[in-house]
Homo-oligomer: A and B are copies of this chain.
């Protein structure tokens, strides 16, 4: 474990771009590294309440990157909500179906968000070739996967990976 010495924030914080400048300056483009496959027509609404099983099929060019993913561990899956409604300012505050309050979009896990990015932590059941079998999914069949990371911190595999 390495700690880097830090002093409290004293220096003035640097300026950032204004919204307008930032939007002009920056479009960030990603491509799927693979896709979710599941036979389920309806998936649980959130990974914290899911026992659903399925697979992540990694594109051939990236298959070498999953060689150290093992059964029993948890992985963070970052994915694209490819079927969600397009975000408009009306969705800045939403009332989730299962709750009774209006909440800011950054306090809920709705798929309708400024950037439709999902994140789920799932259990690895096994890896065969370029297929990762997973449990606890909440992604629909065909969901494009953008990244996979080891689940670390707060109890997840903290001893082995950081």
Contacts and interface: CB of A to CB of B under 8 A. Distances in A.
B30 A28 contact: yes
A86 interface: no
Interface string A49-61: 1011111010111
Interface band, chain A: 35 or more
Interface of A: 1-4, 6, 8-14, 16-17, 19, 22-23, 26-33, 35, 37-40, 42-49, 51-55, 57, 59-62, 64-69, 75-76, 78, 80, 89, 92-93, 98, 103-109, 113-115, 117, 119, 121, 141-142, 144, 146-150, 152-156, 158, 161-162
A80 B162 CA distance: 19
